Amino acid sequence: MPIRRDDRGRYVEVEPRRTEETAWLRCRECGELVFRRKLKESNHICQRCGAYFFLTAHERVTSLVDEDSFEPLGLGATSLDPLEFVDRRPYQERLEEAQAITGLNDAILVGRGTLDGCPLVLAVMDFRFIGGSMGQVVGDEIAAALERCAQEEVPFVLVVASGGARVQEGMVSLLQMAKTVAARNVLAEAAVPFIAVLTYPSSGGMLASVGSLADITIAEQGAMIGFAGPRVIEQTTGERLPAGFQTASFALEHGMVDQVVTRESLRAELTRALSVLQGGSHG
Amino acid sequence: MPIRRDDRGRYVEVEPRRTEETAWLRCRECGELVFRRKLKESNHICQRCGAYFFLTAHERVTSLVDEDSFEPLGLGATSLDPLEFVDRRPYQERLEEAQAITGLNDAILVGRGTLDGCPLVLAVMDFRFIGGSMGQVVGDEIAAALERCAQEEVPFVLVVASGGARVQEGMVSLLQMAKTVAARNVLAEAAVPFIAVLTYPSSGGMLASVGSLADITIAEQGAMIGFAGPRVIEQTTGERLPAGFQTASFALEHGMVDQVVTRESLRAELTRALSVLQGGSHG
Amino acid sequence: MADDTSIRALEEKVAELRTMMESGGVDLSEEITLLEKKLFALRREQYARMSDWDRVKLARHPERPRGSPLVEAVAENFYELRGDRMGGDDPALRGGPALLDGRRIMILFHHRGSTREQQHACRFGMATPQGYRKAIRLMNIAERLRLPLLSLVDTPGAYPGVQSEEQNIAGAIAESISRTLALDVPTLTVILGEGGSGGAIAIAATDRVLMMENATYSVISPEGAAAILWKDPQATPQAAQALRLTAPPLMELGLIDQIIAEPVGGAHTDPKSTADELRTAVSNHLHELSSIPLDELRALRYKRYRNAGSVRAAADQRG
Amino acid sequence: MADDTSIRALEEKVAELRTMMESGGVDLSEEITLLEKKLFALRREQYARMSDWDRVKLARHPERPRGSPLVEAVAENFYELRGDRMGGDDPALRGGPALLDGRRIMILFHHRGSTREQQHACRFGMATPQGYRKAIRLMNIAERLRLPLLSLVDTPGAYPGVQSEEQNIAGAIAESISRTLALDVPTLTVILGEGGSGGAIAIAATDRVLMMENATYSVISPEGAAAILWKDPQATPQAAQALRLTAPPLMELGLIDQIIAEPVGGAHTDPKSTADELRTAVSNHLHELSSIPLDELRALRYKRYRNAGSVRAAADQRG
Ligand SMILES: [Zn+2]
Ligand SMILES: [Zn+2]
């Protein structure tokens, strides 16, 4: 599954290769130079043109949970490189680089926290980590989080930012689709709510498994939501893609998501969703 | 739900008002006068043009089960006329007339029999009985048949020929949809196969309930299959109906039925379907 | 409705007096009170001798409380879920979780829209296969999260269009009935306005079925019955009568469980009290249903529909 | 494949001699037997040193036994069920009940078609949302009638078209995986030819997964991997190797349960014996699976996929 970027989305990417933080970033939409600290205050939205800079997992977590409430739950595992994969570079090298850039073991950050006092387990993907692709670590983390939520009866919120399966793990990555879906079925039997937030991008094997099976699915404005990449579709079928293809509103119109919200209102929207699923006195 | 006739279908109707049998019938498709006895031998298909004369319930039963194997199982009930309904004529009168014409209590004939030696319960509707509409008797008969099949583990075959709900029974007729579906769910839990045969016409409340919920659904060539009548659609929406709308091949193309078969091959098709669902040594 | 004109004239007169009083400063409150009493009496009189056809018109009244405004008035924290996850989202059949009297439930409701554009988009509350498939999805969520189901029915019927047939509207309704009947949570329907045939029963095969006082529930519209059975559009009022589509005869036939009272003149004359009555009735029934063990509930549900309008059940009752 | 041309030349020669013998009446059987021995040796030699990319080409071989002809050869009384009951029928993903070695089962299989028209209609075995929704319907029937499920996978992948996206192909695959995992009957997959990514796993998350000797199962096509990771179409054979998409490494990784032997040269050289081997393997596994109580089976299934390619499971194994 290709790692892809949608040029039509109003998403602005942080250059993923740089480990050191620069003070200024350039908005790819309007060209404005924005001060990184200012950007944080504006929820990583360009104040001039409204374009979204995508969030790192840590930034997303901070924007969604009550201050200081987040407690990481990760398994602490790193990919075993099950295929000993080498393309132009060894997969091992790519992993180490991504770990250095993101400060994460893999493309997902899992933890517990509260949102307006309501406890939840939050799993947030980081697109900078090899395109947010799902390999054995992402699969294990999501499955463990789902099982934990089922056991402890805490709602699960998954923020998707993924280009699909981790190609470098071959069939091992494909099987994470089955793994995460199996664990999602466990949560369903426990009657615990699952909310998915689809951001830029939500595609490939991630969308074709646990990412499509939430009780409530919220799309962030500017999300790219689709199974196959635009280039693959055009090359395979020769079809011309309609305007707005695979945008959040396309997904809403085609019945794939429940709501589309801006980044500013995502937190409130999650609170609203959790309160109706968790609230109530008669149980 | 209106009782309707599809003029595009290659179906030829027997005049339902006449109680005495005439020796000759005119084919509405080609104008040929056909001898009633000859017609029976040809499975009620015009030998000149291939048009289908619709079958009475008794004729259909004869065409499908092993000779002399049919044993009626009907409840022996007649409609209680729950609304004491009168339009231009009392419903009671229509009932008595339909009973006289068809020799049936209501629009369905239920019984057990064998097909190539394989036991089954067969329920066949008769379009001559107030358009094959489903009122309390049809609902009760289908539900009782389904329950019996579940209990005795005998496959159920339903041959639909129905314009929809029995308007003269008002809401009582609408509730037969829920009744038959509830009984169908009982059969499902018993793991007993259910085969529906859709003929001319299969529409309205009959199609929107038990008629759409079989394990295997076979359409007879020349069937009309659709929820709303063509006239209703045109009047409500102003849409022009595409060619072949609501025909058997339209239903196949749109994923509504598993197979379309000619009347001549229906019996063999049912045998084939029953043998794979019932056969096997390892259970 | 009979005497509609004199009531309207009186209503206008009251409004005039109010405006006069507010702008002119003259105290006309006594006159207004008197006129309002007269108006109420007229309304009650008219209301008492409403024909079934009048009732149909009331059920279809453009200002009748319905759709999402009514849901918002009856429940809190309604969170709309959209989409069938298969290609579309039908605005005519909606739903989502909400809190009703502090209880988490899943609500399904028909939406007819109030503006012309909305009404067009919602096809006046006639749902498509996409709507019924969304309903099934929401029922699955309700069962998964153990939320009782509340169906608020208000539809002229399922949408009879070419695309509806292409997408197998009959199959979608059948599956929706089947799913409703199999749900492992308490289920409740209120017929709010029009309960139109297959489009209504698709989400109404529930443990209990309530009807608003002026709602109708019918296998066919009176206009349709007049056209087909009487071959005469003039026979519509007569057909409305013959179909027994109002709440009292349906209560007598044992097909519904309770009639929810409306204010004199109909629900639209007092949406607030209508919502309160509705909430109370729903809350009471959900409370009762939640005390029944689920397997017993499903057995009762089966019996209910197995016996609904049954020849044998009726014979047993009479004999 | 290396040396493909010399093998083809020899094949042609044998065919020529046969024709000569049949038409001319000259006995050339000795010469033919000798040549065939030579051919067999060449094939075996070539077969032994096949690269993974050769294997991909063999898996895609136009004459490879697959689709409905293979189903008819392996099972009896196959009764095709068509349609998703929601608007369409996908000819690329098919199925229905059948008897296999006397056992009633439900078969799902990809169909690529043999004629050009068929291949176009089937999109070379790339299924659409309609296909996966039909698969779910058939799984529901299988569970209802307690038929074990057999998935025969042979697809380049799910169809990447505009309409696929409009009808939520990702959601259809996800639901299909979910349904497969939840099925209350024994389930078995055989990767017949190509096991292409999401389009394959959609129906392959079963109790056991077998692979034909020359089948491939991969998260991405070698061509796709070469384009994305190597940025070079020339790297395709290298990508095929790196992806570990053939049966032996997948067996080593613990992702499949058995490799079904093919005749030397590949399944297409002897479709009859291929079908027999396949039937025997399927029958044996179904026999074993049917002896396991259903709740145990589902627990084993959960464990299988929970641990599939897991960091922890692997660590446990190594530690
Ligand atoms: Zn900008
Ligand atoms: Zn003729």
pLDDT, tens digit, for every residue of C116-161? 999 999 999 999 999 999 999 999 999 999 999 999 999 999 999 9
Write the pLDDT tens digit of every residue in D158-190: 999 999 999 999 999 999 999 999 999 999 999
Predicted local confidence at residue B39, as pLDDT: 83
Whether the per-residue pLDDT at C304 is higher than 50: the answer is yes
Which chain C residues touch B211 with a CB distance below 8 Å?
170, 174
Is D18 touching B (CB cutoff 8 A)? no
Measured between beta carbons, the chain B residues lying within 8 angstroms of C161 are 233, 236-237, 239
Residue A13 alpha carbon to ligand 1 centre in Å: 12
Query: Which listed ligand is nearest to B30 at the C-alpha?
Result: 2
Q: What is the mean pLDDT of residues B191-220?
A: 97
Six-digit token pair at B188?
A: 């499902």
Of B191, B255, B277, the CB nearest to D89: B255
Write the residue in C160, C230, C245 that is nearest to B237 by C-beta: C160
Nearest listed ligand to the Cα of residue A30: 1
How many percent of chain C have pLDDT more than 90? 79
**Range with top average pLDDT, B16-20, C27-31, D243-247:** D243-247
Closest D-chain CA to B218: D81
pLDDT of residue B21: 62
Partner residues linked to A203 by β-bridges: A226
**Residue-wise DSSP of chain A:** ------TTS-EEPPPTT--SPPSEEE-TTT--EEEHHHHHHTTTB-TTT-PEEPPPHHHHHHHHS-TT--EE---------TT--BSSSBHHHHHHHHHHHHSSSSSEEEEEEEETTEEEEEEEE-TTTGGG-B-HHHHHHHHHHHHHHHHHT--EEEEEEE-SB-GGGHHHHHHHHHHHHHHHHHHHHTT--EEEEEEEEEEHHHHTTGGG--SEEEEETT-BEESS-HHHHHHHH-PPPPTTTTBHHHHHHTTS-SEEE-HHHHHHHHHHHHHHHH--S--
Average pLDDT over residues B110-129: 96
Ligand nearest to the CA of A44: 1
In whole angstroms, what is the distance from residue B177 CA to residue B171 CA?
10
What was the pLDDT predicted at C2? 42
Q: What is the rounded average pLDDT of the residues D128-155?
A: 98
Lowest mean pLDDT among B97-101, D61-65, D252-256: D61-65
Q: Which of D229, D253, D255, D307 to mutate to test the interface with A (most CBs of A within 10 A)?
A: D229
What is the token pair recorded at A8? 């039509």
- Residue D162's CB is within 10 A of a number of other CB atoms, namely 18
Q: How confident is the model at residue B8 (pLDDT cuts 50, 70, 90)?
A: very low
Q: Which residues of C touch D168 (CB under 8 A)?
A: 85-87
What is residue B73's DSSP assignment? -
CA of C278 vs chain A CAs: smallest distance (Å): 19
Does position A10 have pLDDT exceeding 70, yes or no?
A: no
Tens of pLDDT, residue by residue over A164-217, are 999 999 999 999 999 999 999 999 999 999 999 999 999 999 999 999 999 999
For residue B4, pLDDT over 50 is answered with no
How far apart (Å, rounded) are the C-alpha atoms in residues D53 and D264?
A: 17
**For residues B18 and B1, which has the higher predicted lDDT (pLDDT)?**
B18
C17 — pLDDT class (breaks 50, 70, 90) = confident
Domain ranges of chain D: 4-49, 56-318
pLDDT above 80: residue D56: yes
Q: Which of D:59-98 have CB within 8 Å of B?
A: 77-89, 96-98
Counting as contact any 3 or more CB pairs under 8 A, the partners of D are A, B, C
Smallest CA–CA distance, residue B283 to chain D, in Å, is: 7
Is the pLDDT score of A118 beyond 90?
Answer: yes
What is the structure's pLDDT at C6?
Answer: 82
Inter-chain residue contact B280 with D99, CB threshold 8 Å: yes
Q: What CA–CA distances, in Å, run from A132 to A121, A165, A175, B17, B29?
A: 19, 9, 16, 72, 65
Q: What is the DSSP letter of D153?
A: E
Average pLDDT over residues B179-184: 98
Say what the pLDDT of residue D12 is. 87
End-to-end CA, chain B = 43
pLDDT score for D317: 54
Distances (CA, A) of A85 to A98, A167, B283, C41: 16, 9, 46, 86
What are the distances in angstroms from CA C129 to CA A63, B255, C174, C202? 39, 14, 11, 11
Altogether, the residues listed in chain B come to a count of: 283
Q: How far does the CA of residue C36 sit from the closest CA of chain D (Å)? A: 55
Residue B50 has pLDDT above 60, yes or no: yes
* Residue in B closest to D291 by C-alpha: B282
Is B174 a residue whose pLDDT tops 70? yes
**Cβ–Cβ contact C197 with B under 8 A:** yes
Cβ contact A75–D311 (<8 Å): yes
Identify the chains in contact with B, defined as 3+ C-beta pairs within 8 A.
C, D
Could you tell me the distance, in angstroms and rounded to a whole number, from the CA of residue B249 to the centre of ligand 2? Answer: 21
Residue range B258-281, pLDDT digits in tens: 999 999 999 999 999 999 998 766
Which residues lie across from B185 on neighbouring strands? Answer: none
Pick from A258, A277, A280: CB nearest C102: A280
Q: Average per-residue pLDDT in chain D?
A: 93
Residue of B nearest to C238 (CA): B87
- Contacts (Cβ under 8 Å, ≥6 apart) of D307: D313
- Rounded to 5 degrees, φ, ψ at D104 are -75, 125
Mutate to test the interface with C, among D86, D140, D165, D173 (most CBs of C within 10 A): D86
Rounded mean pLDDT of A271-279? 92
Main-chain phi, psi angles of D230, to 5 degrees: -95, -15
| Contact pairs from chain A to chain C, CB under 8 Å | 72
Query: What pLDDT score does B102 carry?
Result: 95
| Arithmetic mean of pLDDT, C40-59 | 88
d(CA C317, CA A210): 53
Distance from CA of A150 to the nearest CA of D (A): 15
Of A254, A276, A278, which to mutate for an interface test with C (greatest number of C Cβ within 10 Å)? A276
pLDDT at B16 over 50: no
What percentage of residues in chain D have a pLDDT greater than 90? Answer: 79
What are the tens digits of pLDDT across the range D6-53? 888 888 888 888 888 888 878 888 888 888 888 888 888 878 888 999
Residues from chain C contacting residue A155 (CB–CB below 8 Å): none
Residue C18's pLDDT is: 86
Phi, psi of D245 (to 5 degrees): -100, 0
Residue C47's pLDDT band, with cuts at 50, 70 and 90, is confident
Question: Residue B104 pLDDT > 60, yes or no?
Answer: yes
Residues of C in contact with D87 (CB under 8 A): 129, 166-168
Residues B51, B29 contacting (CB under 8 angstroms)? yes
Indicate the range of A6-10, A153-157, B148-152, C212-216 predicted with least confidence.
Answer: A6-10
Q: Cβ(B140)–Cβ(B182) under 8 Å?
A: no
Name the residue among D82, D134, D145 with its Cβ closest to that of B193: D145
> Smallest CA–CA separation between C163 and chain D, in Å?
9
The partner residue sitting opposite C141, judged by closest CB among A215, A256, A273, is A215
Mean pLDDT to the nearest integer, C175-185: 98
* Distance from the D287 Cα atom to the nearest Cα atom in chain A, whole angstroms: 24
Which chain A residues have a beta carbon less than 8 Å from that of D255?
171-172, 175
Looking at the partner chain, which of C85, C166, C171 has a beta carbon nearest the beta carbon of D85? C171
Between C285 and C25, the more confident residue is C285
SS3 of C265-285: the string is: CCHHHCHHHHHHHHHHHHHHH
Query: Looking at domain C56-318, which of 3.90.226.10, 3.40.50.300, 1.10.10.10, 3.40.50.720 is its CATH number?
Result: 3.90.226.10
Does position B11 have pLDDT exceeding 70, yes or no? Answer: no
Q: ipTM > 0.90?
A: yes
- Residues D138-163 have a mean pLDDT of 97
Tell me the fold of B55-277.
2-enoyl-CoA Hydratase; Chain A, domain 1 (3.90.226)
Number of A–D residue contacts, CB under 8 Å: 200
Mean pLDDT for the stretch of residues B32-60:
86
pLDDT value of residue D130: 98
Residue scoring higher pLDDT (B143 or D31): B143
Kindly report the average pLDDT of chain A as a whole number: 90
Q: Is C98 helix (H, G, I), strand (E, B) or coil?
A: strand
How far apart are alpha carbons A262 and A218 in whole angstroms?
A: 10
Q: Is the pLDDT of residue C25 over 80?
A: no
Asked if B207's CB is within 8 angstroms of C228's CB, the reply is no
Q: Where are the domains of chain A?
A: 1-54, 55-277
C81 contacts A255? CB cut-off 8 A: no
pLDDT at C1 over 50: no
* Range with the poorest average pLDDT among B261-275, C15-29, D98-112: C15-29
pLDDT number for residue A12: 60
Which residues of chain C make contact with D167, given a CB cutoff of 8 A? Answer: 86-87
> Closest to C97 (Cβ–Cβ): which among A254, A276, A282?
A276
Choice among A247-261, B10-24, C64-78 with the minimum mean pLDDT: B10-24
Ligand 1 center–CA D23 separation, angstroms: 81
* C15 confidence band (pLDDT: 50, 70, 90): confident
B254 to chain D, minimum CA–CA distance in Å?
4
